[in-house]
Structure 1
């Protein structure tokens, strides 16, 4: 439908909103924008849920696409611990004991991430062109097709190739999910909704833990091929839902499709017509402020002016997820085995670990509602540093059954803290830091920084844990504790507080070059349009 046709369908009682260019300086329109922003600030979390339940639903559906990346990442971590998989593809290190060589173990973990690295760079340009909704639909179709390669693979080489192809749609999912979710929900729900991404990671790990626990006693190829087939459970139902999902009104406004944007706002909540028009005016006001910087967004814009600072923050927060104990959670079963736990007990502990992560994710919703993003990130990182060092100390003592159990428990605690603080709040920070104009590109480049850091870290992690590598087991806590310290120091000086800030206020704070530690205390007038 053309832009002109969409604009003619707007209510006549607000004719100024039907113009191709809304004059923000027009008093009535400006008042609408201010009232719309004030209404968001005044909303409590519970009121926001009641007023926009459909926004919550569609935000969760989009975030649920992350289950597929989570499922496959944790599945690879469990493959290397499955005895039948080890016997078929591994090497014998002692009589009757087989392990997957370090280079192939790393390749299994890295292949999907390499594919996702490509996907996140494709996500921005594709999304800017066709929108969040159709980009996700395209990725879901691609996901269904690429699973065939992994499922029918009969060698480690083909399995690695399959993982690489599956990674491309993962990149599209992870780049678009936080951006879409943050744009469709009210201000009061932005933290909770984007934190749902970490919840979906935990759901994926629980499904994997349950599936591999159920099949790990089989002695044939179905011990790993059946869990691979479970990947087909997710894409088709989500695809059907995305076909009827609304597009982000922010994306529609940036494309000049105001009529469709208004209908999208109305579909996302139970707002009155007047409230919907105020929300539309608020969005247009912010988009016009950002349009003063540049019109058609390009990836180069991420590295110019004030957007460079926002891009650096996004990249550092994303990349730092790999340096504070997260990789212990991704390879939990193998970590438990290397800590001296039996195979059966390791798979049981992995299921417990995954369930506790889900609990931590739910608790993070209440944390994000009560405390600032910066506060949660700093305290979560500091707490994990303590437990990572304790893990290293425990692994340095003479090893007994008791020290093995303590290492396993510390691994679970580290995963729990990450799943309740750093993991979910990182997605919120990433979604809020980027400008509206560059959000699709920014979340993609930020996730690329995550993969850029993760790919070598996966090799390092495998090398530290594998008996054919450095065989450090729990002593890896010293390494991750040190890298987590670096993350804490950088976040203390450079991470701003954006809780309860509208996108207009965030733009102004960055344009004024306010120091990170003063973001929370700086007052922005509702009439400021700089």
Structure 2
């Protein structure tokens, strides 16, 4: 009996000390449990999607995302228009019909040449327009998306070609190039960002490297057309190559109208259902779980600020470092010998080649560039971005100084051929190593939220550096200017060496890293040379 009374007493005490829980508090407690459970499931889905991307091989990724590869290919095709026009103006300077119509007589050679100031002006006009275009592209894309921003650019491109086609003076050509540069800025800012966002991790390198291939294709088309017309002296010799620009914008606009929007952009806008449908359009449903992929994207984006992105943020906190890398990579494209490739035909002429041989060598250079860009896909599959960039730039530094030495020797036939050979090698190896891997780095470095603005400001840096470099390059090669010929290799070798040293200390290795991992490493301020060794666990968010 006493034991029963003691048990009853203890039971009463337990009842008395148990806190009272209202019905509202019980509901809130259940909701908290559901939220925690939902968050755990959401994170598990995100981790599973990221794990699948890490485990995919390149071929498995292609099979899982065939349409993502197709749409990356179509978006990259927009770069062909800037490439075509950049090389077209460079070839026009060496084209006899254009020089006879708009040039002045060089009494030393008895040939007409475009004055150095107009050479520089024509080649920098498009870049100046593109500089304006990239600043428009960032806010425009952040607001209406990659797809519609590209359609706006294609419509504008169709209109501005008219100005160039009917231009009958060098000032009008300058204005035409300036106007055409506006849509270039939109294309070049959007293409690497869109391509890197619609494909899985394993395909980021080849998807962005396609941009360099189309740059080479544009130069091949120009080289073939101007090679055909270099012996003709009528206006058709430059009017027809201008008119051929119209073969690109309209077909591309039709295709881009049906393109899916970047799912990352849709998730940023909170349009999760549309993001899911976009992923399903990009990949095979049987090989992927669109819901898990959206969860992976949300996991990354939810750690970013919810405010509207603006240019000021690019220069604050850890985003400053990411912006500096993108801007540095873009700037380096002009400082490591790329301008020799853009002025290849004119360079070959100044190296002593005949006009016909110079145009033939320019066409050969462009064809080799396309082949080596495709070979670079194999290179980036097995090697990291950092070693490819550093060793590729180092090789070009050596070749550029060798070019300078060849230009300093007595100008015999052998010396001229050596200059042409070194110029060709620099142009081709640039498109095998540093140039294609640059697009991978540009597409991977910035945060998702600021990506349209970062690629825009990065390309703006490219043009800001390129404009004075064009003036310098044209002056160095022009017989009415510096007339340096191959000795320009000393100048470009010096600038390439500066980019090589900077890259060694500042360029991190980002191969095989998810956007979450890259965000964490940049937030932790991991030194560039420690990125490859750093381990980020699947559970970590900060």
Of 260, 285, 295, 1:246 maps to 260
Task: Report matched runs for 1:83-482 at 5 Å.
Answer: 83-94=96-107, 96-272=110-286, 275-291=289-305, 294-482=306-494
The answer for unaligned runs of 5 or more in structure 2 is: 1-34
Q: CA deviation at 1:26?
A: 1.3
For residue 182 of structure 1, report the CA deviation from its aligned partner.
0.1
Identify the residue that residue 15 of structure 1 maps to in structure 2.
none
Other-structure match for 1:55: 68
* Other structure's SS at 1:317 match: helix
Q: Distance in 2 between matches of 1:323 and 1:102?
A: 20
Q: Specify the alignment match of 1:65 in structure 2.
A: 78
Counterpart in 1 of 2:94? 81
Aligned with 1:350: secondary structure?
helix
2: CA distance between counterparts of 1:25 and 1:503?
23
SS, match of residue 290 in structure 1: coil
Whole-angstrom distance in 2 between the partners of 1:416 and 1:271 = 40
Contact 1:24 1:30 in 2 (8 A): no
Does residue 1:512 correspond to 2:513, yes or no? no
Question: For 1:92, what is the secondary structure of its paired residue?
Answer: strand
Structure whose alpha-carbon radius of gyration is higher: 2
Contact 1:23 1:29 in 2 (8 A): no
How far, CA to CA, are the matches of 1:339 and 1:451 in structure 2? 27
Which residue of 31, 45, 50 corresponds with 2:58? 45
Measure, in 1, the Cα distance between the counterparts of 2:97 and 2:334: 30
1:97 Cα deviation after fit:
1.0
For residues 303 and 185 of structure 1, what CA distance do their matches in structure 2 show? 28
C-alpha separation in 2, matches of 1:122 and 1:423: 25
| Runs of 4+ that moved beyond 2 A | 22-25, 271-274
> TM-score if structure 2 supplies the norm length?
0.92
Which residue does the alignment assign to 1:487?
499
**SS class of match (1:527):** coil
Which deviations, in whole Å up to 9, do the C-alpha atoms of 1:408-454 show, x marking residues without a partner? 11111101110011111111101100000100000000000000000
- Contact 1:192–1:365 (Cα < 8 Å) also in 2: yes
The alignment partner of 1:469 has SS state of coil
Please state how far the C-alpha of 1:96 moved relative to its aligned partner: 2.9
How far has the Cα of 1:271 moved from its partner?
Answer: 3.0
| CA deviation after TM superposition for structure 1 residue 295, in Å | 2.6
Evaluate the alpha carbon distance shift between residue 24 and residue 431 of structure 1 in structure 2; reply closer, same or farther with a 3 A threshold.
farther
- Cα distance between partner residues in 2 of 1:47 and 1:74: 37
Tell me the TM-score normalised to structure 1 length.
0.94
Contact map agreement 2:64 2:287 (CA 8 A) in 1: no
| Shift in Å, 1:406 | 1.3
